[in-house]
Structure 1
Amino acid sequence: MAAERIEILKDILLDLHHGASPDSVQERFNQHFSGVSALEISLMEHELMSSDTGITFEDVMSLCNVHANLFKGAIAGVEMPDSEREGHPVKVFKDENLALRAALLRIRRIIANYTKPENRNYQADLIKGLKRQFQLLGQFENHYTRKEKVFFPIMESYGHDAPPKVMWGVDDEIRELFDSAQTLALQLPQANIAEVSEKFEVFAKEFEEMIFKEESILLMILLEIFTQDDWLAVAEESDVYGYAVIKPAEKWEPDRSSFSAEQSEADSDSRSELTAEKPQIIETPAGQFTITFTPKEEKTAADRTVPQPFGNGYLSVEQADLLLNHLPFEITFVNKDDIFQYYNNSVPAEEMIFKRTPSQIGRNVELCHPPKVLDKVKKIFELLRSGQRDKVEMWFKSERLNKFVYVTYAAVRDDNGDFQGVLEYVQNIQPFFDLDGDYKRDL
């Protein structure tokens, strides 16, 4: 049955390839694919694109309207799922992929037109357009980073840590392929257009494969395991990392039931009837059972404003939090078990040099870094943990941020010298280079 469906889908796609309109194949598609999941159809399309049928990515894209019409019919009168609502992270993610695909297709067209003799006088305009489309396509970096820094931590918390590791490694390979293609494209007209096309197609093949993996594998897993609260956390943290080409048109607000204060009080009164002083007797065929209920004592939250002995003085929790957030550093603490435990808010998340979000708390430090730098991270932690080093320092000039960044990894040891974790502090020292004069004492 699956083989027969693939043949039918191949015939439909070939008809589209040869100029048939989506409307003309709609009835045949509905006849054979009604009730078939989107995932199964995507798998079949993927198989056909990977074969020697001549079916292209563009052909499959042209089938999108057929898909949409089919699913519209299937969900008529059914409430739209949260994931299809404006602003939901899944819809935003898919919309980005559509916009990135569009940039991909435009780059292909520009490269094809560049080689045509009749367009020789327009090559300067074509190069300008090509650079613009590469700039747009390069925004996939925001898409990938958001996936890696927001989706993956929550995914790992459910025990799914293998897919993120693999996908992050492939993401980095795609980044390198894009950089190679873009670097050569920016050298036009001196560069050879055939070489530009070749490098671009190597990138495009892997990029399109990743889109398939994201939508047919990754999102399917996430929709299965993420709760509504998880998606709310994703939506809340996504702005920090930005979006690709488009951004959410509106904020997603899920439908949620609220419970009245009266109902809560009634529940409380019902529970209070079951006390040691007033037991409930339950009659059963096996005899009587006596049930008592002792309310759990609520723990009183510590007063964050009360000063406590703190180093060489006294600080309240609230004051300590304020002081840490006012330091001119981005601070991260990874405990002795390699768990990311704390970061401060010295600047808004959008302005951080190394962006951090709440979903990363509780994550193993190895999962917080791309695979290509993992060996270096392990080496640093081993040097600090073993006592071979107390600090590891590094620095770099970021042209993108216009900052000179100084990074320190320091071993945290207790009074007995026992290793308790690693403190990372990151500082922008560009202002030090920009100091005017040998001193300033005008106040």
Structure 2
Amino acid sequence: MVMMSSETNIENNRIQILKEILLDLHHGASPESVQELFNQHFKGVSALEISMMEHELMASEDGVTFEDVMSLCNVHANLFKGAIADVEVSDADQEGHPVYVFKQENLALRSAILRIRRIIENISKPENEPFKSDLLNGLKHQMTLLGQFHNHYTRKEKLFFPIMERYGHDSPPKVMWGVDDDIRKLFRDAESKLQELSNSDADIEEFLKAFETFSEEFEAMIFKEEAILLMILLETFTQDDWLSIAEESDAYGYAIIKKQSRTRTEENTKNTRIIDTPEGQFTITFMPKPKNESVANRETTQPFGNGYLSVELANLILNHLPLEITFVNKDDVFQYYNDNVPADEMVFKRTPSQIGRNVELCHPPKVLDKVKKIFNLLRSGERDQVPMWFKSERLGKFVYVTYAAVRDDQGDFQGVLEYVQDIQPFFELESDLNRDID
């Protein structure tokens, strides 16, 4: 018991020192001034400690906010370079494992950055003037490839983060998602400069400046992903968790790495699953979590609204509605979505990993104020519905979204129903009347 208590005190002390270092940085200390203290106390630091430290910082009364931690993200990540304790998980080295795929994407994205820098360097050389048009086309192509990092980030945010939160690591996702959005904005700025490119060297310099601002933050994020984020995941996630991530990844797509044809070379067994991914096929051996047996028989018809339905029929009806439906309960927990279309065709992509997640954690930090405002309007009774609409160039749809308050017979708020509809066909009706059958 004395030994366990001593070890606990050591761990608590290390976390406290990490916390004090970041607080010093928050109050204006330079990274150099705290580096010696860090080196003195840490030969290797667990990524889980980083998670706990960030959680404590934002939960403390020291005045450190989410925005503070976000702004310190690069600074404290640099302090951890070379001091991260590695985690050995053999499955993660297999081709096709979500961690392997994630790292392969980072390699491909780094390569795109290097090619862009090489093209920019060659554009400025006088001897390449005759090839300038071709070089600019190559530059635009590489930027398009690099832009696929959006898939990489979205998979991280939609699949990794919900599972992290279930294990109590809710601070790193919140901070990282905020930085991701900053990086997305920097990329849009660079894209804008790219569109303005002409043959003038001044325009190329403007693009280069915007691109290097983006790439500095982007490459810092790669370090955070591989040296901090993945270490937390490898220490925490079960094989079931990795399996669900692998099975849901296709819905969000991949970055640069090519999608291979999906073939099976052997059958899945009870405790083995074969997964096909863009980086090949891999096998996960795991002990499945026991499934909760449903008390109600899904086939039994019972009174339902103004008629009779079984659970199975109710589910089929919801899935056949021409709407994407999402329900968030009165406790702000994402509880249900229907299977109207496959996840990769959804306007707002949903996957099973998001179920049970607080609605605020399902959205990037930049839109939280809007989400809170909608819920406050509906919860308070000030509004019964909040409609929104937009054109989706990606899907070729005109999207109409409704957020509706769900109230019981007594008028008590029970949650928010979001339903999403493609109304583009309505604009394409050829007449005011059609009651004929073709």
SS at match of 2:127: helix
CA–CA separation in structure 1 for the residues paired with 2:294 and 2:213: 61
Q: Is the 8 A contact 2:155 2:252 kept in 1?
A: yes
SS at match of 1:252: strand
The answer for the alignment partner of 2:379 in structure 1 is: 385
- Structure with greater Cα Rg: 1
Match of 2:223 among 208, 212, 232: 212
Query: Unaligned 5+ residue runs, structure 1?
Result: 1-35, 41-45, 52-59, 61-70, 259-297
Q: Is the 8 A contact 2:300 2:311 kept in 1?
A: yes
The answer for the alignment partner of 1:154 in structure 2 is: 163
CA–CA separation in structure 1 for the residues paired with 2:45 and 2:413: 51
SS at match of 2:366: helix
Pairwise mapping of residues 90-105 of structure 1 onto structure 2 (< 5 A)?
Answer: 90-105=99-114
Residues 253, 315 of structure 1: alpha-carbon distance in 2 compared, 3 angstrom cutoff: same
The answer for the alignment partner of 1:167 in structure 2 is: 176
Report the CA distance between 1:188 and its aligned residue: 1.9
TM-score computed with the length of structure 1 as normaliser: 0.73
- Consecutive aligned runs of 4 or more in structure 1 exceeding 6 Å deviation: 36-40
The answer for the alignment partner of 1:229 in structure 2 is: 240
SS at match of 2:228: helix
The alignment covers a number of residue pairs equal to: 338
Q: Deviations over 1:217-258 (max 9, x none)?
A: 000000000001100011011110000001423233213589
Report the CA distance between 1:299 and its aligned residue: 7.5
CA–CA separation in structure 2 for the residues paired with 1:430 and 1:340: 28
Report the CA distance between 1:182 and its aligned residue: 1.2
Kindly indicate whether residue 429 of structure 2 is the aligned counterpart of residue 441 of structure 1.
Answer: no
Match of 2:257 among 246, 269, 274: 246
Report the CA distance between 1:435 and its aligned residue: 1.7
Query: Unaligned 5+ residue runs, structure 2?
Result: 1-42, 48-73, 259-277
The answer for the alignment partner of 1:107 in structure 2 is: 116
The answer for the alignment partner of 1:432 in structure 2 is: 426
Pairwise mapping of residues 3-152 of structure 1 onto structure 2 (< 5 A)?
Answer: 81-152=90-161
Q: Is the 8 A contact 2:91 2:284 kept in 1?
A: yes
Report the CA distance between 1:301 and its aligned residue: 3.6
* RMSD, matched Cα: 2.5
CA–CA separation in structure 2 for the residues paired with 1:110 and 1:38: 39
Report the CA distance between 1:433 and its aligned residue: 1.1
Residues 360, 384 of structure 1: alpha-carbon distance in 2 compared, 3 angstrom cutoff: same
Report the CA distance between 1:305 and its aligned residue: 1.1
CA–CA separation in structure 1 for the residues paired with 2:212 and 2:133: 22
Report the CA distance between 1:185 and its aligned residue: 1.0
CA–CA separation in structure 2 for the residues paired with 1:390 and 1:257: 46
Match of 1:202 among 183, 193, 213: 213
Q: Is the 8 A contact 2:101 2:279 kept in 1?
A: no
Q: Is the 8 A contact 2:239 2:286 kept in 1?
A: no
Q: Is the 8 A contact 1:39 1:216 kept in 2?
A: no
Report the CA distance between 1:37 and its aligned residue: 8.0
Report the CA distance between 1:396 and its aligned residue: 0.5
Residues 130, 306 of structure 1: alpha-carbon distance in 2 compared, 3 angstrom cutoff: same
CA–CA separation in structure 2 for the residues paired with 1:190 and 1:156: 49
Kindly indicate whether residue 348 of structure 2 is the aligned counterpart of residue 318 of structure 1.
Answer: no
CA–CA separation in structure 1 for the residues paired with 2:78 and 2:293: 60
Q: Is the 8 A contact 1:340 1:364 kept in 2?
A: yes
CA–CA separation in structure 2 for the residues paired with 1:327 and 1:299: 27
SS at match of 1:436: coil
Q: Is the 8 A contact 1:305 1:316 kept in 2?
A: yes
Q: Is the 8 A contact 1:86 1:250 kept in 2?
A: yes
**Residue identity matched to 1:121:** P
Q: Is the 8 A contact 1:309 1:315 kept in 2?
A: yes
**Residue identity matched to 1:158:** Y
Percent sequence identity over matched residues? 68
TM-score computed with the length of structure 2 as normaliser: 0.73
CA–CA separation in structure 2 for the residues paired with 1:407 and 1:168: 24
CA–CA separation in structure 1 for the residues paired with 2:232 and 2:293: 37
**Residue identity matched to 1:249:** E
Q: Deviations over 1:258-307 (max 9, x none)?
A: 9xxxxxxxxxxxxxxxxxxxxxxxxxxxxxxxxxxxxxxx9774211111
